[in-house]
Amino acid sequence: MTRPLCILAAAAALLLAAPALHSQDTAAQESRRAALQKEIAQLEQQIKENSTKSSNALNELTLVRRQVAARRSLVQESELVVARLRDTIAARQAEADRLQRRLETMETYYRRLVRSAYKNRDARLWYSYLLSSKDLGQASRRYTYLKDLSGQMNTQARRLKDLRATLGEDLVRLSELRKEAEDIRNAREQELQDLRKEEQRSDKLVASLQQDKARYQQQLETKRKQVEALNREIERIIAQAMEEARKKEEAAANSGKKTGSNAEDIKLAGEFAANKGKLPWPADGPVVESFGQHNHPVYTALVMPANNGVNIGLSADAEIRAVFDGEVKRVIVMPGYGRCVLVGHGTYFTFYCKLRDVAVKSGDKVKTGQLLGRVDTIDGQTQLHFEVWKEKEPENPETWLRKK
């Protein structure tokens, strides 16, 4: 292959590979944008339900601020997509320009070659060229050269045709990329407008909260008592479950009978621990309150009750499912939390709260993904409260659940 053709082939290969590279680079960003858009829609539904079913401005502020954060992330993702598209368009345009220049050079060379062949098309000249050879070897080489020249002309004609088609396809793709970038830029502008509206809504809620501090302090104190009561009850249930398991093993040992329950618990706990970061979510929704201690979003000097789990915003009647195989230890009802289900996984425990109805009872064996119940709406909030405990210590559930 001649050097010009090598360069053209390399340029064409780069152009053909570019769409696949672009697709790979943007797939993850598009996935993140879709997840954020879904989260924003879920939060908007939560906000609407909170507004119609509750006058608790703090609940609404929590949801709105979460929505604002998701919207900011969405705007950032859109900006990244636009920047990547801009870079891709520039790179593809540069390659197309280089290919165009090479094609023009090659076409000029090819036209000269065709004109030369046309001028010398008289067969007598070809015969004279062959007959003037010094010997048979030179004649053979000249014949091979003339034959190769004819074949090369045909080959180059086909390659020029293919490269023109490649350039045409690439120019079409460039037009599509520009349209895609323009659409995303327009969507980003709409996202920015929505973000400004949500920020204004947040500011109004803050102003409302600031006007009635005593009222919201009272709500906070009620919430604190509910959280503390829930934490004490969970600790009591877990301690009781662990004590029951210990006594069962001890009684079996004293009677000389062998029991496999302890070995089963150890095996189950090991399997649960091995799935850290891989557990399925108990329901599909955004985390509206994370694990740990938080300050009040308005009165920042006030410390909110510690959250030993996460609160997941859901649509009404959403199904709640077990995140791993286990045994239902208790089904209880708690003020502010409705019905709650505690599932044991050996020395690990998962806790599902704020359920309207429950599909299991104490002692039931459950499998991963099995229906435990449906979420309830309490004080205008349709949320699942979900916790993970290792023996008597709560752990951050988000470190156990798989990344969305």
Residues 272-311 pLDDT 10s:
999 999 999 999 988 988 999 887 766 666 777 789 999 9
Residue 149 has pLDDT above 60, yes or no: no
Q: What is the mean pLDDT of the chain?
A: 76
For 104, left (φ over 0), alpha (ψ -120 to 50), or beta? alpha
Structure confidence at residue 3 as a pLDDT band (50, 70, 90)? very low
Residue 297's contacts (CB-CB under 8 Å, 6 or more residues apart) are 58, 61, 62, 65, 206
Name the residue with higher pLDDT: 350 or 126: 350
Average pLDDT over residues 106-115: 65
Q: What is the pLDDT of residue 275?
A: 95
Q: What is the pLDDT of residue 184?
A: 76
Structure tokens belonging to residue 10 = 């390399």
Q: What is the pLDDT of residue 350?
A: 96
Q: Are 345 and 268 in contact (CB under 8 A)?
A: yes
Q: What is the pLDDT of residue 378?
A: 86
The 3-state secondary structure of the chain reads: CCHHHHHHHHHHHHHHHHHHHHHHHHHHHHHHHHHHHHHHHHHHHHHHHHHHHCCCHHHHHHHHHHHHHHHHHHHHHHHHHHHHHHHHHHHHHHHHHHHHHHHHHHHHHHHHHHHHHHHCCCHHHHHHHHHCCCCHHHHHHHHHHHHHHHHHHHHHHHHHHHHHHHHHHHHHHHHHHHHHHHHHHHHHHHHHHHHHHHHHHHHHHHHHHHHCHHHHHHHHHHHHHHHHHHHHHHHHHHHHHHHHHHHHHHHHHHHCCCCCHHHHHHHHHHHHHHCCCCECCCCCCCEEECCECCECCCCCCCECCCECEEEEECCCCCEEECCCCEEEEEEEEECCCEEEEEEEECCEEEEEEEEEEECCCCCCEECCCCEEEEECEECCEEEEEEEEEECCEEECHHHCECCC
Q: Can you tell me which residue has the tokens 């879904």?
A: 38
Name the residue with higher pLDDT: 116 or 314: 314
Percent of the chain at pLDDT above 70? 69
Residues 219-277 pLDDT 10s:
777 888 888 888 889 888 888 888 887 777 777 667 665 555 677 878 898 999 999 99
Cα 240-363-396 angle, rounded to 5 deg: 60
Average pLDDT over residues 46-71: 69
How many Å apart are CA 369 and CA 384, to the nearest integer?
Answer: 16
Weakest-pLDDT range from 94-103, 306-315, 327-336, 361-370: 94-103
Residue 112 has pLDDT above 60, yes or no: yes
Average pLDDT over residues 66-70: 81
Q: What is the pLDDT of residue 365?
A: 95
Instruction: List Cα–Cα distances, 131 to 12, 127, 136, 140, 146, in angstroms.
Output: 42, 6, 9, 11, 13
Q: What is the pLDDT of residue 23?
A: 57
Residue 40 has pLDDT above 60, yes or no: yes
Q: Which of 4, 25, 19, 22 is nearest to 170 (CA)?
A: 19
Residue 22 has pLDDT above 60, yes or no: no
How many Å apart are CA 206 and CA 270, to the nearest integer?
Answer: 46
